[in-house]
Amino acid sequence: MIRIGSGYDVHQLVEKRPLILGGVEIKSDKGLLGHSDADALSHAIGDALLGSLALGDLGTHFPDTDERFAGISSLILLKEIGLMLLHKGYEIANIDSTVVLESPKLAPHIKEIRRKIAASLSILESQVSVKATTSEAMGFVGQGEGIAVYASVLVTKVEAQG
């Protein structure tokens, strides 16, 4: 059985916060505002994975009202979501994501981002696609006010052994 999921996340860019995407801290004048580390890429992927099996969303499992998740690395949350899928008998076939951000440029960081996401989910780096684009100076992203991330996933039922 094959299932797909899609995820979307936005966060406001603010001063005096780190910019963390896919578990990688990227040098920037502004970072993402949020209860956890505000890693919008990990959040979008997490929502896509949860959605693939109709397990709700990130806020259902890791609410921003719970102090246990204050400042937590979103890679820890991704790892938990990956385990949820395994317990339901599914494995990740692939992840495809797009980060929309005017600056800084993400190209120098993509390989490390893919590596960290793959490691947190115990999958191969080749199963994780991360792309980056701008919004050509249009909208809240284009004005440098925030970031948007889209993610799609494919998960497959694990075949019983023996």
CATH number at residue 50: 3.30.1330.50
22-40, pLDDT tens digit by residue?
999 999 999 999 999 999 9
> In this structure, is residue 162 part of a structural domain?
no
Q: What's the CA gap between 98 and 149, in Å, rounded?
A: 6
Q: What is the pLDDT of residue 150?
A: 98
Q: Among 124, 43, 123, 125, which residue's Cα sits nearest to residue 77?
A: 43
Count of the separate structural domains present in the chain:
1
Q: What is the pLDDT of residue 52?
A: 98
> In this structure, is residue 109 part of a structural domain?
yes
Write out residues in the chain with pLDDT < 50, as ranges.
none
> In this structure, is residue 128 part of a structural domain?
yes
> In this structure, is residue 111 part of a structural domain?
yes
Structure tokens at 151: 């993610």
Q: What is the pLDDT of residue 157?
A: 97
Q: What's the CA gap between 50 and 57, in Å, rounded?
A: 6
> In this structure, is residue 93 part of a structural domain?
yes
Q: What is the pLDDT of residue 88?
A: 97
Range of the domain at 50: 2-157
